[in-house]
Amino acid sequence: METLTKIPLFVPRMDENPGNAKYLEKPYDICDPYSNPQSQELVQILPHPEWAVHGYPEKKGDGWIGDSRTWELDVGALSSRLYFYQDPGTKPARRIWCSLNVGTEIYVSRAGETAEWTVSDFDVLVPEAKLKVCNTATITKMSELPSSASYMASAIQDSSAPQSETFKTFFECWIGEQNQYLEELVTASDQQQGTRDEESLRRLVERVTEHYELYYKAKARWGKLDVLAMLSPSWTSKFEDAFLWIGGWRPSMAFHLVYSKSGLQLEDQFAQLLRGLGRGDLGDLSPGQFSRINELQAKTIKEEKKISEKMAKLQETVADSAMVELSHLASEMMRRRGSAAGEVDGGEEREKERVNAAVESKEEGLQKVLQKADNLRLKTLKAVIEILSPIQAVHFLIAAAELHLRIHEWGKQRDADKKQHLLETASAQTQERCKNQS
């Protein structure tokens, strides 16, 4: 097979046809930072310039999305997804491969698409050291993926996997289901006022609420096993992390969401209101509903404050007398290390036991505070929904899901963009140093 050489990373070949696999088996310069395979975490699929003629999607959601055409590619050891879609501009349709930054879906032209391919289907993959894990790959229809509930049940029985990783997988399943529920909610909200089935709306709201209950049930279970992972989640972006309150969203945000959406929908239907008409959404909240929401907000803020104070007191215990004494003894032992071997070994073992006991005690306290925070989050969500009519609850849940999903995506994309920028900057700097040395 032909070997491509002297091709800068992230720059596609201009003279190759899509579908022909080419391997970048060697770095084009010995000074290239990617000469070390371990420094490149992702396999990069390079888009071919010709594809732009046929309009391949540049962003997640740019067409070609649907239950019968949305797939997920399992590439085993890779930490990221690979993406493709069928090119409608050619007959027969060609597979068009997009870069890793496109989104979280793989695009196919129709249901029943061949569910297996090899690395030869790709245009370009780099670096060569990572290709071995891609020799074969399969795709699975999203509807056939395990549900978050079934995954949680299986994960509980499997104690071998790291707890943070199993919850991360659960979260990915759950957030995919949240996106599906969002589409159901939007479809329900589009129904004309005179044709709405209140009972079906109520059942839909109950199912979405149960989905949130499942999330907090899973979080409580995994929180008992690894509370630190729940408080410093690896499955969220840095942007999301900056706004976390004790491992999740601040309960009082639910009221700001109601007020914001109510104001936007009220403004949107202002002309109808002048004619004495309404749409039954959050723009039509009654004075009685506003009063109940205000009362609930005041009560929630008080409970939120109590939990914040519990967390503050727990954080202060890091500097209590027991921890200060223990840190001093550990430091003294480190300074005396090298004297009587047997005595030191015994002392180190006792020190380790004391440290573990102290840290475990702090973690138990964190788990209790996290549980209180999550209980308040779920209780607040249910209480707000109880005040609203079924169609208003649908609009509230739409706003909540949209806000969560979009902030999650924006944050992840910003993290990826910054990482990409750092890699490109490092590569450029290395090449410049090599150029100056030559």
pLDDT tens for 36-76 read: 232 222 223 333 333 334 333 343 333 322 222 222 333 33
Average pLDDT, the chain: 69
Q: Name residue 254's amino acid.
A: A
Mean pLDDT of 401-414: 94
Pick the more confident residue, 346 or 91.
346
Residue keyed to tokens 């309150």: 245
CA distances in angstroms from 186 to 17, 68, 180, listed in the order given: 41, 19, 10
- Model pTM score: 0.63
Pick the more confident residue, 407 or 132.
407
B/e letters for 183-204, b = 16+ CB within 10 Å, e = fewer, are eebeebbeeeeeebeeeebeeb
Res 209 pLDDT > 70: yes
Q: Which long-range contacts (CB under 8 A, 24 or more apart) does 113-116 make?
A: 113/71, 113/86, 113/139, 115/139, 115/140
pLDDT reported for residue 420: 86
- Provide the β-strand partners of residue 84: 97
Res 185 pLDDT > 70: yes
CA distances in angstroms from 374 to 184, 212, 307, 337, listed in the order given: 26, 11, 11, 45
pLDDT reported for residue 203: 94
| Helices (H) then strands (E): counts for the chain | 11, 9
Instruction: Lowest mean pLDDT of 80-94, 257-271, 350-364, 376-390, name the range.
Output: 80-94
Is residue 175 a contact partner of residue 99, using CB atoms and an 8 Å limit?
no
pLDDT reported for residue 205: 96
Tokens of 247: 């491992």
d(CA 384, CA 254): 8
Give the residue extent of every domain in the chain.
Answer: 22-145, 149-319+364-419
pLDDT tens for 396-406 read: 999 999 999 99
pLDDT tens for 301-320 read: 999 999 999 999 999 999 99
Task: Output the CA torsion sign for 348, 353, 358, 359.
Answer: positive
